[in-house]
């Protein structure tokens, strides 16, 4: 970040809320001497499952790996197609290509930046194997409508819930946390930009014991006997490797930190929701600025607060104007189909992706994190209003 004007402290786009509680937690596995995929990982999995209301939770090294394992578990293989959105971090589409499958992109709804369920039907082909729905920047997608379309065609639905830990959806008249199984599998990220961070890491939740068993085998090289079982055995056990797996394990040091972060999560979500509401109040009078919409059936954790700029504004110029005042922003969420790694032939779409492209080109993400102050928000709102006026 460039230096702000004298006397102005920099405002980052985000900052993890971590303190001595996480530092002390990390000491436990270090002192114990078991520092990867041991008792801390098992405890973190159990506590996370209880938090979201899922029968099973499996920890892995990041959410990209979680998505890969989820797609493999539902049977995605070379030559298949998976319906998803281009308007998401590149990992969403890349996890499909890891399986040798082709992503089929559906456009988004402009108010939520999430998949438009009306586009799914047109994207289905005889090769379609699954739907990968994204809860973009923490905003729950219209999962009930997405599931209804998928169910008519017998397609499993995987949730890319990378940003959505702590978000909720109204389901059968009750608020339920994202990760409680509605589709086949939900995948979470613990990257530093997320509300719960372990430095990096991921989690899969599911109601299926069979899927969970596949995750656990897949994350550890396809090993037939987990190392936890071998270490605890009173007799010598030789493991086997009946299938190719991956090294997708989470460390016990990360899991110990994650357990402390999970304790803080309700407070973090509540704080984010208050800050998001205040941003809406501060920015309501900025002419032409489109603010994010939270549907009545959704409660976002507000992992990010994205605004769409007025039509006359240049995205880079507005971002630079804020940066010159010490305020970090990020451009709208990327579109995978515009990247060099996705040339024609590596993806398809059932129609135009104009809303996805407009969201990337005309949106910016504003600073939002637990320790953001009201004075910081005032500065951001004042600078943004001045930059788009």
Average pLDDT over residues 152-159: 98
Res 138: pLDDT: 97
Q: Does 15 map to a domain?
A: no
CA-CA distance, 313 to 330, in Å (whole number)?
15
Residue 339, both tokens:
């990247």
CA distance 385 to 389: 6
Which pLDDT score, from 0 to 100, does residue 3 have? 44
pLDDT of res. 5? 57
> Which domain range does residue 99 map to?
20-388
How many separate domains does the chain show? 1
Percent of the chain topping pLDDT 70:
98
Give the residue from 167, 138, 197, 250 showing the smallest Cα distance to 19: 197
**What is the rounded average pLDDT for all residues in the chain?**
96
pLDDT for 297-355, tens place per residue? 999 999 999 999 999 999 999 999 999 999 999 999 999 999 999 999 999 998 999 99
State the average pLDDT over residues 148-153. 98
- Is residue 7 one of the residues assigned to a domain? no
Active-site positions read 194
- Give residue-wise pLDDT tens across range 285-304: 999 999 998 999 999 999 99
**Which pTM value belongs to this model?**
0.96
Asked if the structure places residue 10 within a domain, the reply is no
User: What's the mean pLDDT in 273-278?
Assistant: 98
Q: Is 6 within a domain?
A: no
* pLDDT tens-digit map of 122-140: 999 999 999 999 999 999 9
CA gyration radius for the chain?
A: 21
Kindly give, in sequence order, each residue whose CB lies less than 8 Å from that of residue 230, ignoring residues fewer than 6 positions away. 237, 239
1, pLDDT greater than 50: no
pLDDT in the model for residue 7: 67
What pLDDT band is residue 8 in, cutting at 50, 70 and 90? Answer: confident
Short-list 381, 163, 385, CA closest to 272: 163
Q: Judge whether 11 lies within some domain.
A: no
Q: Is residue 9 part of a domain?
A: no
Q: Is residue 82 part of a domain?
A: yes
What pLDDT, on a 0 to 100 scale, did the predictor assign at position 234? 84
Share of the chain above pLDDT 90, in %: 93
Structure tokens at 4: 């702000």
Query: For position 309, which CATH number holds?
Result: 3.40.640.10
Residue 14 in domain? no
């Amino acid at each position: 970040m460039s230096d702000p004007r004298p006397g102005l402290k920099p405002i980052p786009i985000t900052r993890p809320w971590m303190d001595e509680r996480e530092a002390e937690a990390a000491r436990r596995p270090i002192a114990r001497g078991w520092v990867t995929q041991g008792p801390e990982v098992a405890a973190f999995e159990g506590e996370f499952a209880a938090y979201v209301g899922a029968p099973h939770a499996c920890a892995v090294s990041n959410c990209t790996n979680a998505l890969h394992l989820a797609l493999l578990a539902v049977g995605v293989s070379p030559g298949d197609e998976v319906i998803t959105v281009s308007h998401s971090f590149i990992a969403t589409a890349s996890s499909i290509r890891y399986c040798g499958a082709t992503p089929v992109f559906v456009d988004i709804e402009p108010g939520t930046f999430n998949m438009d369920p009306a586009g799914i039907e047109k994207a289905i082909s005889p090769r379609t194997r699954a739907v990968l729905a994204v809860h973009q920047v923490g905003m729950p997608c219209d999962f009930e409508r997405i599931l209804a379309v998928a169910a008519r065609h017998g397609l499993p639905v995987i949730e890319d819930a990378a940003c959505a830990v702590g978000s909720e959806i109204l389901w059968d008249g009750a608020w339920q946390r994202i990760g409680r199984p509605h589709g086949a599998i939900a995948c979470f990220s613990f990257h530093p930009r997320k509300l719960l961070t372990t430095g990096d890491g991921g989690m899969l939740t599911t109601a299926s014991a069979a899927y969970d068993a596949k995750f656990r085998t897949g994350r550890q090289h396809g090993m037939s006997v987990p190392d936890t079982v071998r270490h605890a055995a009173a007799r010598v056990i030789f493991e086997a490797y009946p299938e190719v797996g991956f090294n997708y394990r989470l460390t016990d040091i990360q899991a110990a930190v994650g357990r402390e972060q999970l304790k803080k999560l309700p407070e973090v979500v509540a704080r984010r929701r208050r800050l998001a509401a205040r941003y809406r109040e501060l920015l309501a009078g900025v002419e032409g600025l489109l603010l994010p919409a939270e549907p009545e059936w959704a409660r976002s954790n507000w992992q990010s607060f994205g605004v769409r700029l007025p039509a006359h504004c240049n995205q880079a110029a507005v971002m630079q104007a804020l940066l010159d005042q010490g305020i970090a922003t990020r451009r709208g969420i990327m579109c995978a189909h515009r990247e060099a790694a996705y040339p024609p032939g590596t993806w398809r779409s059932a129609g135009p992706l104009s809303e996805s492209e407009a969201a990337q080109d005309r949106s910016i993400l504003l600073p939002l994190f637990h320790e953001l102050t009201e004075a910081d928000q005032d500065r951001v709102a004042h600078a943004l209003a001045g930059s788009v006026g």
